């Protein structure tokens, strides 16, 4: 199951996290919560908020994440491939 990354169009933190995932060849699905209200509800149900980026890593929710938090969560899940 790919990682789900909930983003907001133009969010600089989301752009950094998406770039990090691409550089490390981590598969993900991006869901823009500004363009799709269903995705906004989904992320609010999962995390209790709608901040960007929020990741769903195999059921582990990493809300309002920066690259450092994402790297730690991926390493913990055994998904970080250098």
pTM for the structure as a whole:
0.93
- Identify the pLDDT of residue 81: 62
- Identify the pLDDT of residue 80: 82
pLDDT tens per residue, range 4-57 = 999 999 999 999 999 999 999 999 999 999 999 999 999 999 999 999 999 999
The secondary structure of residue 12, as a DSSP letter, is H
User: CA–CA distance from 7 to each of 13, 23, 78 (Å)?
Assistant: 9, 18, 23
- Identify the pLDDT of residue 18: 97
pLDDT band at 1 (very low <50, low <70, confident <90, very high): low
Superfamily of domain 3-77: Glutaredoxin (3.40.30.10)
Buried b (16+ CB within 10 A) or exposed e, 5-41: bbbbeebebbeebbebbeeeebebebbbbeeeeebbe
Domain range list for the chain: 3-77
Rg (CA), the chain: 11
């Amino acid at each position: 199951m790919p990682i789900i990354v909930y983003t907001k169009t133009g969010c600089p933190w989301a752009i950094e996290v998406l770039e990090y995932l691409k550089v490390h060849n981590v598969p993900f699905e991006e869901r823009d919560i500004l363009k799709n209200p269903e995705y906004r509800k989904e992320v609010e149900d999962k995390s209790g908020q709608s901040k960007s980026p929020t990741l769903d890593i195999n059921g582990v929710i990493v809300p309002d994440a920066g690259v450092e938090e994402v790297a730690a969560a991926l390493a913990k899940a055994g998904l970080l491939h250098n």
